[in-house]
Amino acid sequence: MKKSLILVVILLAVASLMAAMAYTKAMVTNNAELKIVNTNKALLALEPQDSKNKGFKDETAWIEDGELKFNFSKGRFYGQFKDKTNIHGLQPNSVYEWVPLFAIHNNSKDTIKVTVSASQNLNKYLKFGVVKNWGDREVTVWSNELKNVIIPEDGRAYIAVKAEIDSPDYIKELKGSIIVKAVPN
């Protein structure tokens, strides 16, 4: 009886080992679908403030080539010359606010938690805040990294941006990115 039991255990172990070694490579193909769309139509959509609204005619945020782009130095005459050299800017010892500058639209079925920050050199100067509704001007919080913004299914968060330029910071051009991260909540 013991020998039979040991033999059965050995046979099961060998069979399991052989099953694990049955192949070393496999490929299974399944149908999948992926659609690449403009950022304002994506699952995590980013929408600029309408440039027709008061205070936003400089188009600080706009959609170009499917991406939401930002230029905090635009003003009168921007883009009227081929080389776009007529860029204004922000002076030392100043604070500028765009309330709200863009919206984050949750087109997924999940409630999401969002973080907004700036990369590279912009992080020193830009702060982010949230307003309750698109037309509101009261910002609930200003932070270099705006965290834990909860957006329900088909909901929006309205993001304000503040630029604070210190006095020793003189004439330079800074480039970077505004980063929006989202995870299911």
Task: Please return the burial class of 61, using the count of CB atoms within 10 Å of its CB with bins 0-12, 13-18 and 19+.
Answer: buried
Helices assigned H by DSSP within 23-63: none
Residue 68 token pair: 């939401």
- Comparing 89 with 126, the larger pLDDT belongs to 126
Give the whole-angstrom CA distance, residue 5 versus residue 27.
38
Q: What is the pLDDT of residues 138-181, one digit of tens each?
A: 898 899 999 999 999 999 999 999 999 886 666 677 889 999 99
User: Which CATH number is correct for 39-184, 1.10.390, 2.50.20, 3.40.50, 2.60.40?
Assistant: 2.60.40
Q: What is the pLDDT of residue 27?
A: 86
* Contact predicate 129/107, CB 8 Å: no
Helices assigned H by DSSP within 35-165: none
Give the whole-angstrom CA distance, residue 134 versus residue 159.
9
Give the whole-angstrom CA distance, residue 79 versus residue 21.
65
Helix (H, G, I), strand (E, B) or coil at 1: coil
Q: Kindly list the domain boundaries of the chain, sorted by start residue.
A: 39-184
Strands (E), the chain: 44-48, 61-64, 67-70, 94-106, 112-118, 126-131, 145-151, 156-165, 178-184
Q: What is the pLDDT of residues 64-109, one digit of tens each?
A: 899 999 888 876 555 555 555 556 788 888 899 999 999 999 999 9
Prediction pTM value: 0.77
- Comparing 82 with 121, the larger pLDDT belongs to 121
Average pLDDT score, the chain: 83
How many Cα neighbours within 13 Å face the side chain of 122? 21
Interacting residues of 17 by C-beta distance below 8 A, sequence separation 6+: none
Q: What is the pLDDT of residues 29-65, one digit of tens each?
A: 998 888 888 888 999 999 998 766 666 677 788 898 9
